[in-house]
Chains A and B, each alone.
Chain A
Amino acid sequence: MSQRLINWFKFASPASFYPLAGKMWPWFAALGTALAAAGLWISFFVAPTDFQQGEGYRIIFIHVPASWMSMFIYCVMAFWAAIGITFNTRLSGMMSSALAPTGALFAFLSLWTGALWGKPMWGAWWVWDARLTSELILFFLYIGYIALTAAIDDPRRADKAGAIVALVGVVNVPIIYFSVKWWNTLHQGASVSMTKAPTMATTMLWGMLIMALAFWMYSIAIALYRVRAIILERERHATWVAELPEMQR
C-alpha cells in the first residue's frame, strides 16, 4: 500500500511530470485528430437529415460534446483542487490552471453554438432559461478562476484561492445537468441518458459520441502541453530545469 502511494507521488513532482507530459501529449493529439476526422465525416456524410430540423440539427455534433467537455473539465479542475488542498502538492494547482482556459473555451463554444442553433429553431439567440443561464454561470466561473489566480502574485496562494473557487463552483455542474428536469425550459432534455434507450438515430448518436471523444483527447493533449509551460514558468530557478536537454546549447 505505502509502496503504491510513493509511486503515485513520484509523478506529483513537476520534475518527473514535465518529461512524462511531453511524452504523452502527442499520442492524445494524434488520437484526437483521428477521432475528429471520423466524427466530422459522420456528422456531414453519414448522419441523415433530421425530419424536423433539416440540416440545421448538425450543430448538435459540436454543441453537445462542447457542453459536456465544459462541465467535465470543471469537475476535473475541482478534483485537482481537492487533491491540492488535501495533499498540498504543487502539481495539482498547475493542472487546474492548465485546464481552466480550455474549459472556458468549451463553455464559450457551448453558448456560441447554442445561440446559432437557437436562432433558427426557437427564433431567439438567447433566452434566460435555466439551462442557458447555468451554462453562462459556468463560463463566468472559469473566467473568475482565471482572473483570480492571475491577480495573486504568489502562485501557491493563487492555487489555494483558485481551488476554493473550483470547489465551490462545482455545485453548478449538476445544476446545469439537471436543469432541464428541474425547471420548465425551452431547451430539450438530455440527449443521452444512462437509464433509457437512446431516442436518436444510431448514426447521429455515434457521430456525437465520437466528436465528444475527439474533444476529450484534444483537451488532454492541450492541458498536458500547457502544464509543461506552467511548470517551466514556476520552476525556472530549479536545477532540474537548467539540466533539461532543451536548455543546453
Chain B
Amino acid sequence: MNWGSAGEFFAMGGYGLYVWGSFGVTAAALLIEVVLVRHRLAAVRRGLRRELAADRDTQD
C-alpha cells in the first residue's frame, strides 16, 4: 500500500493537479461519449418508430 491517509492519496506527492487532471478528464470524456452514443441510438429509434407509426396511420 502506497498511502498513509486519504489526504496523501489525493495530494499524489504534490502532483495531485496533474494526476487527477489526467484521470479525471479521461473518465469524464469516456462517460460523455457513452451518454452521447446512447442518446444517438435512442434518437434514431424514436424517430423511426414515429415514422412507422405515421405510415401505419395513413394506411388504415
Contacts and interface: CB of A to CB of B under 8 A. Distances in A.
Range of interface residues on chain A?
35 or more
Contact of B37 (A49, A54, A113, A229): A229
Given A54-B13, A56-B13, A62-B23, A116 B18 contact: yes
Interface in A191-249: 218, 222, 225-226, 228-229, 232-233, 236, 241-242, 246-247, 249
Contact of A54 (B15, B29, B48): B15
Interface in A99-129: 101-102, 105, 108-109, 112-113, 116-117, 119-120
Interface in B20-60: 21-23, 25-26, 29-30, 33-34, 37-38, 40-41, 44-45, 47-49, 51-53
Contact of A113 (B1, B22, B49, B51): B22
A interface SS class: helix
B32 to A, nearest CB: 9
Interface of A: 44-45, 48-49, 54-56, 58-59, 62-63, 66, 101-102, 105, 108-109, 112-113, 116-117, 119-120, 218, 222, 225-226, 228-229, 232-233, 236, 241-242, 246-247, 249
Given A218-B30, A226-B40, A247-B49, A59 B18 contact: yes
Contacts of B38: 225
Given A233-B44, A242-B52, A109 B13 contact: no
